[in-house]
Structure formats: structure tokens, C-alpha cells
Amino acid sequence: MTIAGNDEGNLSGSFAGLRVIDFSTTIAGPHCARMLADMGAEVIKIETSEGETMRTRPPVRNNCSTAFGQLNVGKNSLVLDLKSPAGVEAVRRLVVNADVLVENFRPGVMRRLKLDYGSLGAINPKLVYCSISGYGQTGPSAELPAYAPVIHAASGYEMAHLAYQPGRTRPDYCGIYHADVLTGVYAFGAISAALYQRTASGKGQHIDVSMLESMLSLTLNEVQWSQFEVKATQRPMFGPIETSDGYVMVAVASEKTFQSLMKVIGRPEWVDDPRFARYVDRRENWGSLMEGVEAWSRSVTTQQCLAALNEYGVPSSAYRTVAEALRDPQIAHRGALADVQDGGGSFKVLNLPFRMSGAKVSAAKRMSTLGEHTRAYLKETGLSEDEIAAFAGKPQVAARG
């Protein structure tokens, strides 16, 4: 069975021919498996008859969630009752011809179902089995429930971020789930590495991906500073520079950039000013430097500010909303958005942020409906129609998703 995707000439995806069984829910696991689908893999998403919880997340049109679509477009839908022996047996039959399995249940769930790596690896020694969890599969925290905001707090990320907010004493509220997206990307990378290793060894393996450790990787400097009592504020703090009608971000990350910025703001003499001449001096007097920059930037509009900064090659950007960013001509030039159809109509999803000269990398054009491929996959295992009905659990209603 194949997945209908976007036509990119004669190119195929790098993972074309691979079969992935996706047990994952919410964000981290589905994001990982969606990337595999965009790279050409046949991804079988296994759900209950009710469908996973992300199917109810807004925006929802005609019972179809585009949030769910962003994470699951390109996957084939198989509905099974994993609480029944028949459903578990169906998985075991499918695993015989699978290359990858992705799951993000709490540690121990798959083992109780006898669908853990030890059980399924015995059926298919080439299987690459990826487990995503909050704290890892073993250890004193392994059994703790974990969601992205909890992991943000547990990893130290939120307190590290707070250290860069002058005058703030309370950590920020969490609205964007970095831990989920980042962990999904790490899982994708680990799976890719395991598949490459399999070409030489002929053997699969178990991958154990931790959200906690994934989030720690966002604090690389802070991990080092924490060992030697270095304060986070002992480096330049990049933040919003006020203009007459908004804010811009300016990154003064090199000597050349600093010298160019001084020309832009009409302060070329500051290049030799003892307060700013050396990086260590600027670091100690960063507040004064930024006050000088804002004395100029407040006199111009955001567009005038950016035009001047760009003329001198100073890295900068206006602070934009996501909607504004998506309207950037560069996004259209890159083909960063793909049009997808589901039961609610058309919507756009993000493509992967890389292009390959020799392989197709793109989202599929339509969403599968819930349970759309159940019969086809169960029939593939050699079951009769009566047996298929038993394996699929209770009769399915043709829900769209």
C-alpha cells in the first residue's frame, strides 16, 4: 500500500519502501512519524475507534482538526482494539513486514500488551523500535507522567529563560511546546541512524528517547555555566529594540557587526570607546550600548530601521506574528507550506525545513479518514472477512479525520 503525495517529477522519498507502525499520540511521536512519511515511508497510524485526542483540537471544521492534520498527514489509518487479544495479534502480524515502530506510551504499557521491543524484536529482528517518553524507559523518574510544560520546568529550561528577563521573578506561562517538537526531531534522527546502521548489521534495535534530555540540549551554555557558577547575564542580551512604531531584533554577534551598527546609529567613535571597544567591555556595558542604539532607533520607523541595518549587513528582523511570517515571500519561494485536503476542506501544513536534490521531501495532499485502511491491512495479513471484523474490534463508524 502506498501513500499519495505531491508529484516532484521522478524523485522518490529517501525512505520509500519502508513501513512504519505509528502507535504514538499527541505531538512528539506523531511529529516524528509525520517526518518519516514526508520522506516517503509508508506510515500506518494505529488508533482506537474513537480516534486520538488531537482529533478534537482546534481549528476543527466538519469534525476535522487541522492541528491533527499538521501532525498526521500522509499516514494510513488503521483502527484496532489493543485491549483485545485479536487486536494485539493483528499488530504482531503487521510487525513481521515492518521496518520501524514508534510509540510514546508511558513506560511499561507496551510490555503489558506484549508489544514491547523484546516481544516484537523476536518476531522481526530487523525492526527499529523507537520509544519516546518523558524521562526515559528506566530510572527513578521513568514512571512519572510527563507533558511538555512539565518537562520544560523539570529540565531547568524555564528558570534558565527567566534569568534573561530583567526584573522578572516568576517563570513564564508555557504556550509553545518546545519539548514535544524537539523530542520528535531527535527521535527522527535516531531512527534514521538506526536504519543506516541496519544496512551494515542487518539488525534492528531499540531507541529510548527522553524528553527531559532533549530539553536539556536547548541549554548547552547553561549546562556549562551551572558547573562553574557562571551567571547567565555575563554575556550580551539580545532583545527588542524600540522603533517609533514597533520593535526590531538586532544581533550584534561579531566585531564586524558591531562596527557596522555603530555606523548605522551615527556613533562611529564608539568603536574605540573604552566602554565598548572590546567584547569583554561591551559585555560589561551592554545596557549603555543598547540605550545608545535605541536613542537612534526610536527616531525611525521599523521599516526605516531595517532598511538601514540591512544596508550595512547587520542581522535584524521585525518582531512578526506567525501569520506575518507565513506571508513572507521567502516562505513561498521555499515551498514551505503544502496544501492538504480533509473532510473539512483545504488547509496548509508546514513541509520539512530542508530540501534534497536527489529525493522528494513533501507532505501528502490529503488526510486519511479514521480507519480508512483497516480492512486493507488486515486482509494483507491473510485474514478472512469474518476474521477481519473480529480483529478490528467493534464495528466502525466512518468518521472523517
Over the Cα atoms of the chain, what is R_g? 25
Are 308 and 342 found together in one domain? no
| Cis peptide bond prior to 274, omega within 30° of 0 | no
C-alpha angle 287/289/294, rounded to 5°? Answer: 90
Q: Tell me which of 18-22, 33-37, 167-171 is least confident.
A: 167-171
Which CATH number does the domain housing residue 175 bear? Answer: 3.40.50.10540
pLDDT in tens, 253-289: 899 999 999 999 999 999 999 999 999 899 889 999 9
Are 161 and 93 part of one and the same domain?
yes
pLDDT at 9: 65
Residues 214 and 266 in one domain: no
CATH number, position 261: 3.30.1540.10
**Same domain, residue pair 152 and 285:** no
- Regarding whether 171 and 72 lie in a shared domain, the answer is yes
Note whether residue 100 is domain-resident.
yes
Instruction: Please report the pLDDT score of residue 5 as a whole number.
Output: 41
Q: Which among 255, 288, 318 is the end of a domain?
A: 318
133 shares its domain with 259: no
275 shares its domain with 160: no
Q: Rounded to whole angstroms, how far apart are CA atoms 257 and 252?
A: 6
Range of the domain at 97: 19-219+337-391
Confidence (pTM): 0.91
Residues facing residue 5 across a β-bridge: 364
Q: Is residue 153 part of a domain?
A: yes
- pLDDT on residue 234: 62
Q: What mean pLDDT do residues 129-150 have?
A: 97
Q: What percent of the chain has pLDDT over 70?
A: 94
Q: What is the mean pLDDT of the chain?
A: 92
Alpha helices in 285-344 (DSSP H): 286-297, 302-311, 322-326, 329-334
Instruction: State residue 395's pLDDT score.
Output: 41
What confidence tier does 233 reach under pLDDT thresholds 50, 70, 90?
A: low
Lowest mean pLDDT among 144-153, 231-240, 295-304, 313-322: 231-240
Contact 60, 344 (CB under 8 A): yes
